[in-house]
């Protein structure tokens, strides 16, 4: 019997990653084979590109009905409460981030779905993790509720793979930078805001100190990494918790300088807030050699290429 044609459900499709991932999946699988869903209104960039349903991942029955009704074979679960937002309401962040994942994993097991994608984050690392080239396997003691929920989630993914054979795959995203959709309350959001402020105000007041190095990635690389991981043969996937992937590492001062190369009168000030403590607990760079070995991961964008592309697209 020939394999069913894949039909994909993206949960959290109106978010920063969701919008661009949904569009990329529609390009790969065909518009009607990718169902976008979110609690929020449909993002304007998704309108008219394919099916959309309003849905809450916490409502397991409703989710299950949609999976059966739409003949879903793959789920991409992107709905989450991020690091800085999560610290304002830890119980809610834990509940949503965990229960949403367990709902999806349970349904994937019952309906024998082909694949599940769930993102983790560099937030799983803590102050005791190595700061430079943080390895795939290392000391992990997260200090934010977001990081704790992501680390626990990695082990649930591993458990469902080993116990039930659910083909669930994951990437530990660094800070993500995009011009298409707004960031969602993370500690690395400054690296998105700074570009719009540079164009509109010619100045930016940064909530992190000037020499705070963090792992970052330009969204086209993040989307490509996700698709490459999901398209890789199952026997090449050696990590069933979550893969380290790396793009670039830079400080606010360095991103400011890269913008000044294009906007010479751009100025920056610094006023570190509560997010500084979160940033200080994370590694400054990531070792992604395992992802490179298993499925050939390599980033394409560095800081100067990204800055050029961001400013060009935001000007449009």
What residues does CATH 3.40.50.720 cover in the chain? 8-174+219-244
Tokens of 90: 């830890």
Residue by residue, DSSP assigns 265-299 as: T-EEEE---THHHHHHTS-SSB--HHHHHHH----
Contact between residue 32 and residue 51 where contact means Cβ atoms under 8 Å apart: yes
Tell me the CATH architecture of domain 8-174+219-244: 3-Layer(aba) Sandwich (3.40)
pLDDT tens-place string over residues 142-187: 999 999 999 999 999 999 999 999 999 999 999 999 998 777 788 8
Of 74-88, 98-112, 202-216, 252-266, give the lowest mean pLDDT range: 74-88
pLDDT score at 184: 78
Look at the domain 176-216+247-285+295-315 and name its fold: UDP-galactose 4-epimerase; domain 1 (3.90.25)
Mean pLDDT of the chain: 95
* Cα distance between residue 255 and residue 11, in whole Å: 32
- 3 has a pLDDT exceeding 90: no
**Pairing state of beta strands 214-218 and 248-250?**
antiparallel
- 49 has a pLDDT exceeding 70: yes
Cα angle: 138, vertex 142, 85; to 5 degrees: 140
Residue by residue, DSSP assigns 158-218 as: HHHHHHH---EE-EEE-EEE-SSS---S-TTTHHHHHHHHHHHTSEEEESS-TT--EEEEE
Q: How confident is the model at residue 4 (pLDDT cuts 50, 70, 90)?
A: low
218-232 mean pLDDT:
98
Q: Which positions are catalytic? A: 146
* Cα distance between residue 199 and residue 311, in whole Å: 8
pTM (two decimals):
0.94
What residues does CATH 3.90.25.10 cover in the chain? 176-216+247-285+295-315
Q: How many CB atoms lie within 10 A of CB 73?
A: 20
pLDDT score at 2: 40
Residue labelled with tokens 């349970």: 106
Tokens of 182: 């707004």
Cα–Cα separations (whole angstroms), residue 185 to 3, 166, 189, 193: 40, 30, 7, 11
pLDDT score at 82: 86
283-306 mean pLDDT:
98
């Amino acid at each position: 019997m020939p394999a069913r044609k894949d039909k994909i459900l993206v949960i959290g499709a109106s978010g920063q990653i969701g919008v661009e991932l949904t569009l990329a999946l529609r390009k790969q699988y065909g518009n009607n084979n990718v169902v976008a869903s979110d609690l929020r209104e449909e993002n304007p960039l998704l309108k008219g590109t394919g099916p959309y349903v309003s849905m809450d991942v916490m409502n397991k029955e409703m989710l299950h009905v949609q999976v059966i009704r739409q003949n879903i074979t793959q789920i991409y679960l992107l709905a989450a409460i991020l690091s800085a937002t999560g610290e304002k309401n830890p119980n809610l962040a834990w509940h949503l981030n965990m229960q949403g994942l367990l709902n999806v994993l349970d349904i994937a097991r019952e309906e024998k779905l082909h694949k599940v994608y769930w993102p983790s984050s560099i937030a799983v690392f803590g102050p005791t993790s190595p700061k430079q080239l943080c390895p795939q396997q290392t000391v992990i003691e997260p200090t934010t509720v977001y990081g704790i929920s992501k680390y626990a989630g990695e082990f649930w993914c591993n458990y469902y793979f080993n116990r039930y054979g659910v083909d669930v795959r994951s990437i530990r995203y660094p800070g993500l930078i995009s011009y298409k959709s707004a960031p969602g309350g993370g500690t690395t959001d400054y690296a998105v805001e700074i570009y719009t402020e540079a164009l509109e105000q010619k100045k930016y007041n940064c909530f992190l100190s000037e020499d705070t190095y963090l792992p970052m990635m330009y969204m086209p690389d993040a989307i490509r990494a996700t698709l490459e991981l999901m398209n890789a043969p199952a026997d090449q996937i050696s990590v069933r918790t979550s893969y380290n992937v790396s793009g670039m590492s830079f400080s606010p001062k360095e991103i400011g300088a890269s913008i000044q190369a294009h906007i010479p009168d751009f100025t920056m000030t610094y006023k570190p807030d509560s997010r500084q403590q979160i940033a200080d607990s994370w590694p400054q760079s990531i070792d992604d050699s395992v992802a490179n070995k298993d499925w050939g991961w390599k980033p394409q964008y560095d800081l100067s290429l990204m800055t050029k592309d961001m400013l060009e697209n935001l000007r449009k």
